[in-house]
Chains A and B, each alone.
Chain A
């Protein structure tokens, strides 16, 4: 399955792409300039500038770069840009002459250049990306000996350069305040995996040693079509589509670097006011390097090797080459955090000094069971991280009293009053029926007259009074069950459940709006992270993603065994990489099954049944690693795919939280 084939599907309606197919994809990079190639070295062409040691990275591995010479020439007052690879320099057998010529830029006139994006870090490689008016972008040109500023200064002497209002690193060429051109700089290009901290350690002297292969696998995106009528957005889509015509490796490299400034680190920045940062550990982690090397040697054709290809159906390739990706990016899971480690996060009075570090630790390994009772209240937001032991103790006692008062509200309803209180009777009836159908095979709730089942009933009924608008809905008991098992205290369980419902209550809205929002966000993420799979769902009328309904409604409670569910939940509740990490978990599972789904040509019914039957057969650790890789990879574009206020984000405003119908229970 070649990339071209999958793109063919995506781009079949694109005229330019069709044209490119006729020419052969190898000519795409120079299709605009071929006509002029003969004139590029004309007599009369004035040499304005040359720069040696300017390289492109045709693969994800920096060792496989192609070095060459960058030139600016001028003829008939038109400035031309060319880049010619050095002859005879084949750094790696994998790069053929064809590859080299593929990237050659032969005398592109600046009249056809729309913008230049520059990247000039204090340390590390400087590069530029040249984007043509047609939307094509050339592979990033690395200035191994520096000099990007000098280059731009010279360009500026000959053409009009204007700094984009939105991104100061984008320089618009010959932009005469055309609104169309101005929007270019607002492109939301796919972000991916910046290796920011890693890059700052790279030699800037142009040494192309084998160590450079750390530059890593990059994400790459196929098409990204946002259903929006925003013309700015349309333009960015247009560019992205063109972008995707650039050959695969070039795209990988380009995409990653183009978006480096707004990569995954900014998720943290956005959500947690933390400085942009990366994983310094990544490069020092021996295990990671090992993975890295193994991925380095992966032959192209092996990328689906741990997926079962079910039959002859041509399954579009995974644009992310997902298997390799997760090996590189999903960090190995750690053992659960123990008491000693937890205590180290606390100051002498019991405050969590660095809540982010604590959440990170939990994200990567979970919590030893005995410790959950202390840590879950933080994760759920019942206790504040900066509370002291004494404050928490006081909080507990106040809340206990409050709980007892709430409970009394329904406890004091007499039989006579209940007769005249249909809503109460109906709710109580529902809850009574459901608590005896919740985890009864699990020891904590098994057996007749189980006290814990009664407590669960009391808590749910109390909650339905505490939050009368939302009331009770099936699925709530699935959430409450592990909370009770962990907290082992009625009032504490109640308040932890309340805290959880602050975020997940919309899952149970009568109009199912919270669920639909999340399913929509999921579809957007799949569109971003696996366009072929998205297209498949679209063609097969599966875009409502109802087959993931149970996953999201109760956050995989029915998919994993009890202990694993608790582990997954605490990982999700850290909101460490994303508040919506559960959606990336969905994508991760779907991607693992993508060849099966598409290979078997599953329709909606078959797919729903297939997904249902995955229950009990999903490996949690590898799924979380996959999801982590996807989340990092999606970066800001992932975050942008998820509409504001999508649960479990807190609601946007303080309006009516739980819309009521007239005829409700």
Chain B
């Protein structure tokens, strides 16, 4: 499928916060409570449309356990966007955000767009981190923020697309040299000049093909 741009995303955060579930919900529109834990990295991809331009998101879903950090760091290279995920029902996953952010700042390019996601917001009765705390952390560190639920799909689509829209805007503003792939953006063939018949405006299309 042709695309105007390809954005590389990386999903990071503590183990068990729902990184793989967010990805699956986004690419396949389903929630699978029973799936194998991630070893190393898994990949997903989906086409979305922003400003009538087809954009392919290539998403790297990483293993969250501390031991694998040294490996995970090598995946940041060339990522345009990062979804930093914590679990609103587990305080410690929120407490670890700073160290994840430090990794990201250190190993990704400085213009990487980071979206902070408080996942499992369907479990409000077990909430251990308030929305305000999430917002505050995001504000302090210059991140975009959303609470989402991979289970109910609430805000999942929005989180991925808003991140892409932010990256897209940075391209428009000339923040990136898109010919330099270290920014995690590849210019595709087809669709870059003007409206290319994007089907449904600013929302998404297509599904979970890998590629």
Chain A residues engaging chain B, CB cutoff 8 angstroms: 426, 430, 433-434, 436-441, 473-475, 477-478, 508-512, 515, 544, 546, 549-550, 553-554, 558, 604-605, 608-609, 612-613, 664-665
Nearest neighbor of B35 in chain A, beta-carbon distance: A437
Q: Are A439 and B36 in contact (CB under 8 A)?
A: yes
B59-74 vs A, CB cutoff 8 Å, 1 = contact: the mask equals 0000101111011001
How far does the alpha carbon of A426 sit from the alpha carbon of B40 in the complex, in Å?
21
Chain A, residue nearest B66 (CB): A665
Contacting pair A612 B70 (CB below 8 A):
no
Check: B210 CB closer than 8 A to any chain A CB: yes
Shortest distance from the beta carbon of A141 to any chain B beta carbon, whole Å: 51
Report yes or no: B37 in contact with A441, Cβ–Cβ below 8 A: no
What chain B residues lie within 8 Å of A553 (beta carbons)?
Answer: 39-40
B31: shortest Cβ distance to chain A, in Å? 14
Distance, CA A101 to CA B67, complexed state (A): 61
Known: A474-B67, A508-B67, A546-B71. A612 touches B36 (CB 8 A): no
CA distance A605 to B8 in the complex (A): 10
Alpha-carbon gap, A438 to B66, bound state (A)? 19
| Cross-chain contact B68 with A474 (CB below 8 angstroms) | yes
Which residues of A have CB within 8 Å of B189?
Answer: none
Knowing A430-B15, A437-B36, the reply to whether A609 touches B43 (Cβ < 8 A) is: yes
Tell me if A475 and B43 are in contact (CB < 8 A): no
Measured CB to CB, the closest approach of chain A to B174, in angstroms, equals 25
Docked Cα-Cα span, A554 to B39, in Å, equals 9
Is B77 at the interface (CB under 8 A from chain A)? yes
For B36, the chain A residues whose CB sits under 8 A away are: 437-441, 558
Check B67 against A512 for contact (C-beta < 8 Å). Answer: yes
Set A430, A436, A613: member contacting B65, Cβ < 8 A: A430
| Chain B neighbourhood of A512, CB < 8 A | 67-68, 70-71
The smallest beta-carbon distance between B150 and chain A, in angstroms, is: 14
Chain B neighbourhood of A546, CB < 8 A = 71, 74
Q: Please, which residues of chain B bring their CB within 8 A of the CB of A609? A: 43
5 A-B pairs whose Cβ atoms sit less than 8 Å apart in the complex:
A434-B15, A438-B37, A441-B36, A474-B63, A665-B66
Contact B40 A549 (CB under 8 A): yes
Contacting residue for A612 out of B8, B41, B78, CB 8 A: B41
Is B42 positioned at the interface, with any CB of A under 8 Å from its CB? yes
Given A510-B67, A512-B71, A665-B66, the answer on whether A474 and B39 have CB atoms closer than 8 Å is yes
Does B34 belong to the interface (CB within 8 Å)? yes
> Which chain A residues lie closer than 8 Å to B43 at the CB level?
609, 612-613
Interface size for B (C-beta < 8 A) is 25
For the complex, what is the distance from the CA of A473 to the CA of B63, rounded to whole Å?
A: 11
- Give the shortest distance, in Å, between A326 (CB) and chain B (any CB): 28
**Minimum C-beta distance from A304 to chain B (A):** 26
Task: List chain B residues, Cβ under 8 A from A508.
Answer: 67
Report B1-41 residues with CB < 8 Å from chain A CB: 8, 15-16, 34-37, 39-41
How far is B15's CA from A441's CA once the two chains are assembled, in angstroms?
A: 20
A543 to chain B, nearest CB (A): 12
CB distance from A226 to the nearest CB of B (A): 25
* Complex Cα–Cα for A511 and B71 (A): 10
- Bound-state Cα–Cα, A553 to B63, Å: 13
Contacting pair B8 A474 (CB below 8 A)? no
Task: Report the minimal beta-carbon distance from B143 to chain A, rounded to whole angstroms.
Answer: 24
A332 to chain B, nearest CB (A): 32
B41 / chain A contacts, CB cutoff of 8 Å: 608, 612
CB within 8 A of B66: which of A475, A510, A608? Answer: A510
Given A437-B37, A438-B36, are A474 and B74 also a contact pair (CB < 8 Å)? no
A contact residues around B15 at 8 Å (CB): 430, 433-434, 474
A435: min CB distance to chain B, Å: 9
Contacts of A473 in B (CB 8 A): 65, 67
How long is the Cα–Cα vector from A546 to B69 in the complex, in angstroms? 12
Q: How far is the CA of A335 from the CA of B35 in the complex (A)?
A: 33
Q: Which residues of B contact A441 (CB under 8 A)?
A: 34, 36
Shortest CB–CB separation between residue B38 and chain A, in angstroms? Answer: 8
A544 to B72: give the CA distance in the assembly, Å: 13
Within 8 Å CB of B42, what residues of A? 612
Inter-chain contact B34/A436, CB cutoff 8 Å: yes
On whether A550 and B35 interact (CB within 8 A), knowing A433-B16, A605-B78, A665-B66, the answer reads: no
C-alpha gap A307/B47 in the complex (Å): 31
Complex-state Cα separation, A38 to B34, whole angstroms: 82
Within 8 A of A (CB), among B161-178: none
Contacts of A550 in B (CB 8 A): 39-40
B77 CB contacts on chain A under 8 angstroms: 604-605
Q: When the two chains form their complex, are residues A440 and B34 in contact, meaning their CB atoms are under 8 A apart?
A: yes
Closest 3 A/B residue pairs (Cβ): A437-B37, A550-B40, A433-B16
Chain B residue nearest in CB terms to A430: B15
Nearest A residue (CB) for B90? A429
Q: A549, B71: Cβ atoms under 8 Å?
A: yes
Complex CA gap A601/B75 in Å reads 19
In the complex, A475 Cα to B8 Cα: how many Å? 26
> Known contacts A433-B15, A433-B16; is A475 also within 8 Å of B71 by CB?
no
> Taking CB as reference atom, which chain B residue is nearest A541?
B77
Name the residue of chain B whose CB is nearest to the CB of A440: B34
B48 CB to nearest A CB, Å: 19
Expressed in whole angstroms, the Cα–Cα distance for A511 and B63 within the complex equals 16
Q: Which residue of B lies closest to A608 (CB)?
A: B41
Closest residue of chain B to A547 (Cβ to Cβ) is: B40
